[in-house]
Amino acid sequence: MLRVGNCSGFYGDRLSAMREMLQGGQVDVITGDWLAELTMLILGRDRLKDPDTGYAKTFLLQLGDCLGPALEQGVTIVANAGGVNTPGLVTAIRELATSRGLSPKVAHVRGDDLTPRAQELGLGQPMGAHAYLGGFGIARAVASGADIVVTGRVTDASVIVGPAIAHFGWGREDHDALAGATAAGHVIECGTRATGGNYSFFTEIDNLDHPGFPIAEIHRDGSSVITKHPGTGGAVTVDTVKSQLLYEISDARYPGPDVTMRPDTITLEQQDTDRVSMTGIRGEAPPPEVKVSLNSLGGFRNEMTMVLTGLDIEAKAELVERQFMSELTTSPAELTWTLARTDTPNAPTQQQAAALLTVVARARDPKVVGRAFTRAGIEIAPGTYPGCHTLAPPSAGSPYGVFTPGYVAQSVPEHEVVPDDGTVEVIAPPQQTRALQPLLGEPATRARAQDEPTCAAPLGTLAGARSGDKGGHANVGVWVRDEAARPRLSALITPESVRELIPEAEDLPVKVTHLPNLMAVNIVIEDLLGEGVAYNARFDPRAKGPGEWLRSRHVAIPLPLIPHPTENDA
């Protein structure tokens, strides 16, 4: 068995997590994920300002606190914190270690950066182009005896898959084992989201104030147990694990550079308190292409939010929009208006009586969205609707990024490992690949009795959900906890019903995948997020909230499926 603990789910996660993982009990490997799509853009911009930066500095802070204890315990640290400057991070680690009188072996993986070759590869001229590498380079680095392995852009699960490959000696065609490790990696890579964070039924968890970080106990066949250190907060249950499993999986084939994992084959079982097993996971040969993260400067954006209070909200919004447009002397490439009706009738506080009207401008020229844009809102203020004021003073436009996915053949990235001694080893691409075909599964079928009594109630009465972003698409995983409710969930969630329940999706492509083994469906709403999180096209550009929004929407639920309060609840 290999015990892999997580200490970071994003760039900015809890700094004490690595120390907590070391203090909580024996683990063989500590990993973390620092590289969201937006983070790659942030780090790319950092390096443009200072060529010595471009990596996740918070990882260095954690390491400065924990390097000595990790070496004493023989724990290997594997992190994708190299960002867009992995060699720079290696240098910083060695300087840090020297300052503390330590001499760890540091290896790194390179080859993800395709930026210099982007145009010749047909990827355009982005600010950054980084291929998602797999776990075999990490495995070779671990096998070389490295104490610390750092990478740039790899898949989120690869930092877990790589150490498992090294530990068990898996080969390229051990697809089921690789898929099992990928599933384990997918669960723990987001940190405390596997232990109760971002969990629909969070009120059922007794101690969520300081949830512990997750651990995957991986076995030779790829099966695993998800757990956490005893005495830490949060909980590991079938549903907390399932919630994270459904996060951003797209459909019943979850592709990666090493294997395509089949979420529709996973069996979850609660073994004991805070111990959930994942078994039966099947894998298929990976796709012939790897994904490339393409980040570009999209232009400049600015916004103004005006507060509309009390009566006649719609009329106030129409007036100020007409006046603003008549005063606007420039022509932004994009101009969008959004009225958020946050007001309530007969409100007891002024804030509860207020609605928010936001206008957003985008242009290639920063001057177009600078003073020329904000002046229009300022000049009309004395002569517009009663009670006019804004949430913030005028400001200059700020740059925004655009994320787009690209694809290149598996053989294109020059996947290399540089051990501590500075030698270079090339990692060959997989010889066996399989073209990726979407797998949506079959909806549950059950004849509904015509006289079946139903009640309009929130979908969350029945189901949990977890949502997130994949480029410009929003993913929403929805599951039920009672097998009797699964057919109803399948009947309720269709592309047509999603467009009704989430009106923003009315004119967008919607894909629904059925996962009966998880009593779940997965929804992909294409283009809901425009050109990605950095483009900031909507109120929630990371799509973290659509799952909970969907749960709040009222649907027809059969009365026998609606929980009734117990005597204790009453």
Residue range 32-48, pLDDT digits in tens: 999 988 899 889 989 98
User: How many angstroms separate the CA atoms of 355 and 320, rounded?
Assistant: 13
Residue with tokens 């040969």: 285
DSSP 431-487: S---------------PPPTT--EEEEEGGGTEEEEEEEETTEEEEEEEESSGGGHH
C-beta neighbour count of 545 within 10 angstroms: 12
Q: Does pLDDT of 482 surpass 80?
A: yes
Alpha helices in 474-524 (DSSP H): 486-492, 495-501
pLDDT in tens, 97-116: 999 999 999 999 999 999 99
Q: Specify the pLDDT at position 570.
A: 41
Among candidate residues 246, 218, 157, the one with its CA nearest the CA of residue 517 = 246
Residue with tokens 């290896």: 107
Q: Does pLDDT of 199 surpass 80?
A: yes
Tokens of 368: 């177009």
Q: What is the pTM of this model?
A: 0.93
The mean pLDDT of 450-460, rounded to a whole number, is 86
Spatial neighbors of 250 by CB under 8 A, at least 6 apart, are 470, 475, 511, 513, 522, 524
The mean pLDDT of 7-27, rounded to a whole number, is 96
Q: Specify the pLDDT at position 153.
A: 97
The mean pLDDT of 478-499, rounded to a whole number, is 95
Q: Pseudo-torsion of CA 179, 181, 186, 189, nearest 10°? A: -160
Half-sphere exposure of 376 (CA within 13 A, CB side): 25
User: How many angstroms separate the CA atoms of 95 and 98, rounded?
Assistant: 5
Q: Specify the pLDDT at position 564.
A: 67
Q: Does pLDDT of 448 surpass 80?
A: no
Q: Specify the pLDDT at position 446.
A: 53
CA 349, chain centre distance (Å): 36
Give the chain's length.
570
Q: Does pLDDT of 72 surpass 90?
A: yes
Q: Does pLDDT of 232 surpass 90?
A: yes
Q: Does pLDDT of 568 surpass 50?
A: no
Residue 567 pLDDT level (bands cut at 50, 70, 90): very low
Q: Specify the pLDDT at position 445.
A: 64
DSSP β-bridge partners for residue 282: none
Average pLDDT value over all residues in the chain: 94
Residue 569 pLDDT level (bands cut at 50, 70, 90): very low
